[in-house]
Amino acid sequence: DFILMQNYPNPFNSTTTITYSMPQQKNVILEVFNVKGEKIATLINSRVSTGSYTVTWNGKDNFGRSVPSGIYLCRIQVGSYQHTIRMLLLK
């Protein structure tokens, strides 16, 4: 199964680590959204081989601007599979 683990630490201050596993090679999209559903950052959008991976999010948007404290959603998409986790940024 494709797995998106809960980020750690959570809540986090400046950076958090997101881990996911791939049972087969597929295109992966890993994105961060605010609670309004607006895309904040794209962490991955590429073909990924089988295995486990970690990604660090630095609390910044796609333009390099720091985002405010709050709840953020991290969504993984692999084909028709989607899974979302909640992350809490506290500054």
Length of the chain: 91
Using CA atoms, how far apart are residues 65 and 47, in angstroms rounded to an integer?
Answer: 27
- One-character DSSP codes across 28-63: EEEEEEETTS-EEEEEEEEEE-SEEEEEEE-SB-TT
The tens digit of pLDDT for each residue in 15-39 reads: 999 999 999 999 999 999 999 999 9
Write out the two tokens for 68. 């405010």
Note if the bond before 11 is cis, omega within 30 degrees.
yes
CB 56 within 8 A of CB 16: yes
The tens digit of pLDDT for each residue in 51-76 reads: 999 999 999 999 999 999 999 999 99
Write out the two tokens for 33. 């959204």
